[in-house]
């Protein structure tokens, strides 16, 4: 029975996407356009220049395209299904999360897992096409590929807890639209989505080193393109794991505090 409940929770948002072909078509078109534009941009930037910030053109293009593909891992339209914490808090339906057989924390995690599995199918499909067409260069070795996969999984775990913190803010602020916009921008900037962090000033890189954002994307992609050598991977993986544990403990504490703020009126 527990497995059945887990399966039903994990497939909530992906089913919403699969039953809306126009949204899937739009997602495909957007992904293709993003990959083409990003690859064209970085190829153009390197057309009349050699390696910049220790990054060759192939490395830069691979990094940028992989960053676009990685964005598909958690980019589903939860608002369409009215299944965000913000919406549940607004309509008062968050109370049902505490009446289900699954605890709210587990339901939230399972739903995110389903999203990531569905998004991974998009990302892997796009990666295969980009690899076959030469847009993205393959990893240098099987060791690099293995370390990259482990780092990417840890990065997605850190990203989940970061986004969970934003959801949990709703229990105290009720509305977090502005915080969402700020955090999404900060996450994209400090994690290296817009551009590799090596292009930023030293003070910016030093600041980002004390935040969890670069552990979500910059580290795994740096391992893939060779900016971080396999010999130095252990330390980076340890930092990612430390952030995941720290954020897990924090969000677990906040789940307990949030339960005290949920009030059910009437029968």
In three-state form (DSSP H/G/I as H, E/B as E, the rest C), the secondary structure along the chain is CHHHHHHHHHCHHHHHHHCCHHHHHHHHHHHHHHHHHHHHHHHHHCCCCCCECCECHHHHHHHHHHHHHHHHHHCCCHHHHCCCHHHHHHHCHHHHHHCCCCCHHHHHHHHHHHHHHHHHHHHHHHHHHHHHHCCCCCCCCHHHHHHHHHHHHHHHHHHHHHHHHHHHCHHHHCCCHHHHHHHHHHHHHHCCCCCCHHHCCHHHHHHHCCCCHHHCCHHHHHHHHCCCCHHHHHHHHHHHHHHHHHHHHHHHHHHHHHHCCCCCCCC
Q: How far apart are CA 230 and CA 147, in angstroms?
A: 7
Among 48-57, 192-201, 203-212, the range scoring the smallest mean pLDDT is: 48-57
Residue 124 has what pLDDT? 92
Residue 201 has what pLDDT? 86
Residue 88 has what pLDDT? 76
Residue 178 has what pLDDT? 72
> What value does the mean pLDDT take over residues 168-190?
77
Residue 240 has what pLDDT? 95
Q: Is a pLDDT exceeding 50 seen at residue 123?
A: yes
Residue 258 has what pLDDT? 81
Residue 193 has what pLDDT? 85
Residue 155 has what pLDDT? 94
Q: Which of 213, 166, 151, 212 minimizes the C-alpha distance to 188?
A: 213
Q: For the chain, what is the mean pLDDT?
A: 83
> What value does the mean pLDDT take over residues 149-168?
91
Residue 6 has what pLDDT? 67
Q: Which of 69, 71, 91, 68 minimizes the C-alpha distance to 79?
A: 91
- CA distances to 135, 137, 187, 232, 254 from 213, rounded to whole Å, are 26, 25, 6, 19, 20
Q: Which of 196, 221, 35, 205 minimizes the C-alpha distance to 128?
A: 35
pLDDT class of 260 with cuts at 50, 70, 90: confident
Q: What are phi and psi of 108, to 5 degrees?
A: -60, -45
Percent residues over pLDDT 70 in the chain: 89
> What value does the mean pLDDT take over residues 76-99?
71
Residue 266 has what pLDDT? 43
Residue 150 has what pLDDT? 95
Q: How far apart are CA 149 and CA 71, in angstroms?
A: 15
Among 3-12, 55-64, 65-74, 109-118, the range scoring the smallest mean pLDDT is: 3-12
pLDDT class of 66 with cuts at 50, 70, 90: very high
Q: How far apart are CA 31 and CA 126, in angstroms?
A: 8
Residue 49 has what pLDDT? 74
Q: How far apart are CA 63 and CA 195, in angstroms?
A: 9
Residue pair 229/144 in contact by the 8 Å Cβ criterion: no
Residue 156 has what pLDDT? 92
Residue 267 has what pLDDT? 39
- List all residues 6 or more positions away from 188 whose beta carbon is below 8 Å from its beta carbon: 194
Residue 242 has what pLDDT? 96
The model's pTM is 0.87
| Listed ranges 15-19, 120-124, 177-181; the one with the highest mean pLDDT | 120-124
């Amino acid at each position: 029975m527990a497995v059945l409940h887990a399966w039903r929770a994990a497939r909530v948002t992906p089913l919403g996407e699969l039953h809306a072909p126009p949204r899937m078509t739009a997602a495909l078109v957007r992904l293709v356009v993003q990959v083409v534009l990003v690859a064209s941009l970085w190829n153009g930037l390197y057309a009349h220049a050699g390696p910049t910030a220790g990054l060759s053109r192939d490395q830069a293009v691979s990094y940028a395209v992989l960053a676009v593909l990685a964005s598909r891992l958690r980019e589903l339209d939860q608002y369409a299904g009215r299944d965000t914490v913000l919406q549940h808090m607004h309509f008062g339906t968050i109370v049902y999360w505490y009446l289900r057989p699954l605890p709210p924390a587990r339901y939230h995690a399972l739903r995110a897992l389903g999203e990531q599995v569905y998004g991974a199918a998009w990302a892997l499909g796009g990666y295969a096409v980009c690899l076959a067409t030469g847009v993205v260069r393959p990893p240098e070795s099987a060791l690099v590929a293995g370390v990259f996969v482990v780092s990417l999984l840890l990065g997605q775990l850190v990203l989940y807890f970061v986004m969970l913190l934003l959801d949990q803010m709703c229990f105290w602020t009720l509305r977090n639209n502005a915080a969402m916009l700020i955090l999404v921008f900060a996450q994209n900037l400090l994690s290296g989505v817009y551009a590799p962090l090596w292009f930023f000033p030293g003070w910016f890189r030093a600041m980002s080193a004390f935040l969890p954002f670069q552990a979500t994307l910059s580290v795994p992609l740096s391992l893939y393109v060779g900016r971080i050598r396999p010999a130095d991977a252990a330390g980076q993986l340890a930092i990612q794991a430390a952030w995941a544990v720290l954020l897990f403990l924090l969000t677990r504490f906040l789940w307990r505090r949030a339960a005290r703020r949920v009030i059910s009126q009437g029968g």
